[in-house]
Amino acid sequence: MKVGPIVPALRDRGAQVELVHTGQHYDQTMSGGFFTELGIAEPDVNLEVGSGTHAEQTAGVLIAFESYLAEREVDAVVVVGDVNSTIACAMAAVKLHVPVAHVEAGLRSRDWTMPEEVNRVLTDRISRWLFTTSADADENLAAEGVPAEWVHLVGNVMIDTLLSNIDRARERGDKVRERLGLDGAYGLMTLHRPSNVDEAASLRALLGVLGEIAADVPLLFPAHPRTASQLREFGVELPDAVRVIEPLGYLDFIGLMDRAAIVLTDSGGVQEETSVLGVPCLTLRENTERPVTCDLGTNQLVGTDPDAILRAAKAALDSPTAPAQIPLWDGQAAGRIAEVLVGDLAA
């Protein structure tokens, strides 16, 4: 969803681009299907790294991407987000003296138990171009001593993808609701953060309060493979009104989200998408690296206390929301990124 708009924007401005898929996300539903759904050309290279511990995965990408770079003349490497592939590719590039552009730079949760926070901070520290989604990210980078001329507030490429596909997503959402037999209000939930799903007691407590919310509005739960595995391992049974469904492709998920009465999540991207769609979102975490979705969007950071979650859910269901107006989240972020990169490399 992040790379999709960037590649054509660069090519439209005359850049020669190769798309490298590290293979960190190797499941067809979780990764491969996005290329087809979003009309992205198949990757030029697939490093096929696969799964493993954080160290194994990062090392695998680092080794494979270094070999890839060693065989080519590359002017710049563009990395997105905060996954293990992001920091691994950035490290491989800078050690071969290839400058790095980081898309979604400057996001900070300040929670060092999150592997994503480690990846974000380290990638920003070694990147030459830092493309940010909101002003708070610029402020974070300035506080860390990043030269102002390296930082570019461009908007959110996730929203580029959302806005360019929303009509198709709504059509797909209608079909999914028909297939699932949904003819009234419903909520949508996602859980996958280790802090929420790796401890049996925490997971049971969350599912308990979600069951109470589901008594007011049924909840759909596209179960992330990680979460589904933990549910089986812990022997946790879901409340009756929480309906588990298979993981969804991007368009199906956005189509369901667009019509949801409420979304409960621990995902970063969902906080952004619900804000633009005007859907109430409760983030089941103690922190967020996307505070703009709380300040200007439809997101509320509610933590994991069951009573607080239940109160916030009841209030959100009783209060209509409107789509957020977040500066530069207008579907043009990829073009701004391409203008800067192509201009600087041509200089």
- Catalytic residues, by residue number, are 192
CB-based burial of residue 25 (10 Å sphere; 0-12 exposed, 13-18 middle, 19+ buried)?
Answer: middle
The backbone torsions φ and ψ at residue 121, rounded to the nearest 5 degrees and listed phi first, read -65, -45
Sign of CA dihedral 122, 125, 130, 134: positive
Q: Are 133 and 103 spatial neighbours (Cβ–Cβ below 8 Å)?
A: no
Contacts with 322 (C-beta within 8 Å, 6 or more apart), sequence order: 278, 298
Q: How far apart are CA 82 and CA 119, in angstroms?
A: 5
Show the tokens assigned to 17: 């681009």
How many whole angstroms separate alpha carbon 21 and alpha carbon 44? 8
Residue 246: CB atoms within 10 A of its CB come to 9
Q: Are 88 and 62 in contact (CB under 8 A)?
A: yes
Inter-residue long-range contacts of 244-249, CB under 8 Å, 24+ positions, other chains counted: 245/180, 245/220, 245/221, 246/29, 246/222, 247/29, 247/30, 247/222, 247/223, 248/29, 248/176, 248/222, 249/29, 249/33, 249/34, 249/37
> Which tokens belong to 174?
């209608």
Q: 195 with 202: CB under 8 angstroms?
A: yes
